[in-house]
């Protein structure tokens, strides 16, 4: 199952004058979320989690139907304290949609990923990375078996692409409450550092990299504008 989390507030975009939530902004003639979905095989199960204040369940449903997805759910929740909380709340709303033993790939709604491989990765968990500059990413310490995952602290050149894989959905659901009571800040319930808790509890987490040109970054207004400029220069 593929889960795409769209419950963020897009606050940086609205502060800079945008009037649409970022996943609805256009890239090469279609919305960012549609551009992301274009690379997901149509036979995979898809769950999209939206923020109720944008009332976009029907918007996402229409896209999934138009693109030919056969197994999907779109749910809405209130604003959360991070992607991990968004994921858990969304999963709990559709517990009849999946088997707890099936695999789970989690992805953000602001980076277009040009690959059709979304599951079947090595280990109990997997973090996809690319090599780039800057410290505003999440980082793993190494390729292969991972020992550490950190937010916005450049411990290596390996930046998370935002694709997070779990061998079983149940890995998330059965470890979430224990993770929350393990000293994590209440307003930082993100997926990336959750892997550290899993590593400490003897789960094997792996990473491998895709090339930087496999991604179109649209997560901030600057990234989005730069991606539009690069697209225009290619035409």
Mean pLDDT across the stretch 1-19? 95
- Residue 235, domain member (yes or no): no
pLDDT at 182 over 90: no
- Residue 234, domain member (yes or no): no
pLDDT at residue 188 in the model:
74
pLDDT at residue 82 in the model:
93
Which range among 13-22, 89-98, 180-189 shows the weakest confidence by mean pLDDT? 180-189
Report d(CA 45, CA 206) in Å as an integer.
23
Q: What tokens were used for 132?
A: 């780039």
Mean pLDDT across the stretch 52-76? 98
Give the closest residue to 104 by CA, choosing from 164, 192, 25.
164
pLDDT at residue 37 in the model:
98
pLDDT at residue 235 in the model:
75
Q: What tokens were used for 101?
A: 């033993």
Model confidence at 167, pLDDT cuts 50, 70, 90, reads very high
pTM equals 0.96
Three-state DSSP class for residue 162: strand
Report d(CA 99, CA 126) in Å as an integer.
19
When divided into structural domains, the chain yields a total of 1
Model confidence at 234, pLDDT cuts 50, 70, 90, reads confident
- Residue 233, domain member (yes or no): no
Residue 59 to residues 68, 88, 113, 202, 211, Cα–Cα distance (Å): 15, 22, 21, 41, 31
Q: Give the residue numbers spanning the domain of 222.
A: 2-227
Three-state DSSP class for residue 101: coil
pLDDT at residue 214 in the model:
97
- Residue 232, domain member (yes or no): no
- The alpha carbon of 223 is separated from its chain's Cα centroid by a whole number of angstroms, namely 17
Give the pLDDT confidence of 34-63 residue by residue, as tens digits.
Answer: 999 999 999 999 999 999 999 999 999 999
Report d(CA 210, CA 149) in Å as an integer.
18
Contact 41, 116 (CB under 8 A): yes
Mean pLDDT across the stretch 209-216? 97
Mean pLDDT across the stretch 167-190? 88
Report d(CA 123, CA 138) in Å as an integer.
19
Residue 174 to residues 60, 180, 181, Cα–Cα distance (Å): 29, 12, 13
Partner residues linked to 105 by β-bridges: 2, 165
pLDDT at 68 over 80: yes
- Residue 185, domain member (yes or no): yes
CATH of residue 131's domain is 3.90.550.10
Burial class (CB in 10 A: 0-12, 13-18, 19+), 78: exposed
pLDDT at 226 over 90: yes
Report d(CA 12, CA 4) in Å as an integer.
20
Give the closest residue to 69 by CA, choosing from 44, 47, 102.
44
- Residue 71, domain member (yes or no): yes
């Amino acid at each position: 199952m593929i889960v795409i989390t769209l419950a963020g507030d897009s606050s940086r975009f609205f502060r800079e004058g945008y009037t649409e939530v970022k996943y609805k902004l256009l890239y090469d003639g279609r919305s960012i979320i549609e551009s992301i979905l274009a690379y997901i095989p149509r036979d995979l199960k898809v769950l999209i989690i939206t923020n109720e204040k944008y009332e976009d369940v029907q918007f996402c449903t229409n896209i999934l139907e138009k693109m030919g997805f056969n197994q999907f759910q779109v749910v809405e929740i209130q604003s959360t304290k991070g992607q991990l909380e968004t994921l858990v709340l969304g999963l709990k709303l559709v517990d009849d949609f999946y088997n707890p033993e099936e695999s789970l790939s989690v992805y953000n709604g602001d980076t277009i990923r040009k690959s059709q491989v979304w599951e079947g990765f090595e280990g109990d968990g997997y973090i996809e990375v690319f090599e780039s500059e800057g410290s505003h990413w999440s980082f793993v310490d190494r390729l292969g078996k991972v020992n550490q995952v950190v937010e916005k602290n450049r411990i290596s050149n390996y930046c998370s692409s935002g694709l997070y894989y779990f061998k079983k959905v149940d890995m998330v659901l059965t470890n979430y409450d224990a993770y929350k009571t393990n000293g994590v800040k209440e307003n930082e319930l993100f997926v990336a550092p959750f892997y550290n808790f899993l590593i400490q509890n003897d789960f094997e987490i792996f990473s491998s990299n895709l090339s930087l040109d496999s991604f179109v970054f649209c997560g901030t207004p600057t990234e989005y504008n730069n991606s539009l400029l690069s697209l225009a220069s290619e035409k």
